[in-house]
Amino acid sequence: KGYDADWKIKYEISKAFYEVIDSKVPSDLFISLDGKVFVNAYNLTTFDELKETKISTYDMVSNVVQLDSPKEKAVYAYKIFTNRRLKKMKKVFVSYSHANYKEMEQLTKYLIGFVRNKEIESWTDLKLQSGVKVKDEILQNLEDADIVILLISQDFIASDFIYDYELQMAMQKKITGRGEIIPVVLSSCSIFDLKLNVTGDEGLMNEIKMGDYYFTPQGPNKSLLPIEQWKNESQAWMEVYKDIKKKIKT
């Protein structure tokens, strides 16, 4: 009971603190988690958490906030600055070869329900905007991701950019507990023989064997069956959808 009393006191103090803060925030105050990316504090305190999950952020260059180039980011990261009940959206990054553009579009159709329910934010390189450094933007969005979906084919494996950057970072996030992967096999390929050397915790190098991981979709006999080999590809995509749903809900 003493513990409960202490908790209630701390809660009331915290509540009173945020009520004062929310009522006194100047419109030109900007706050940051890392000293690089800033949000407007007033916008945060007036944020409609029932309708929105993203907020405009701004880079700082030479101690000047770049108001003319805002970027949308998940507001949940800034929960420590407000007592509002901000929603947690998982960010999903889709890694794919452009040779599999149609398959990426098909995947997007199965993600749209999660997007509309504000459970996830889905990102592909189609969201790249003019004027950005392509590599930096891709890797930053990959770094921010909670889940990385890998659309695997021989074209995927053959891509140097995917192998050197996207797959390396995805597996690093996996082995260090900073993210999850969902490998989706589109067609017959050599993914099970693929090995990577990935930097893990404390800078130690780890040999990763892709064949050790779970792949989707699983066929009727509970073994991997690439999407192109299904008689009805819609059934294959539904199996993929189910595996994605499990990751999103956990």
Four-residue CA torsion sign, 43, 46, 49, 52:
negative
What local confidence, expressed as pLDDT, does residue 35 receive?
Answer: 85
Q: Which domains does the chain have, with CATH numbers?
A: 2-81 (no CATH), 90-249 (3.40.50.10140)
Rounded Cα gap, residues 159 and 154, in angstroms = 9
SS3 at position 19? helix
C-beta separation of 185 from 130 below 8 A: no
Which of 228, 230, 229, 189 shows the shortest CA–CA distance to 211? 189
Q: Tell me, what's the pLDDT at 29? A: 87
Taking the C-alpha atoms of residue 72 and residue 229, their distance in angstroms, rounded to an integer, is: 39
Apex 46 CA angle, 27 and 17, nearest 5:
85
pLDDT of 1 reads 44
**For residue 116, what are its two tokens?**
């509309």
| pLDDT tens digits in sequence order for the chain, 250 residues long | 444 566 666 656 555 555 555 557 788 888 888 888 899 888 887 777 666 777 889 998 888 888 888 887 777 778 777 777 666 789 999 999 999 999 999 999 999 999 999 899 999 999 887 777 889 999 999 999 999 999 999 999 999 999 999 999 999 999 999 999 999 999 999 999 999 999 887 788 889 999 999 999 999 888 999 999 999 999 999 999 999 999 998 8
Angle at 112 between CA 39 and CA 210, to 5 degrees: 90
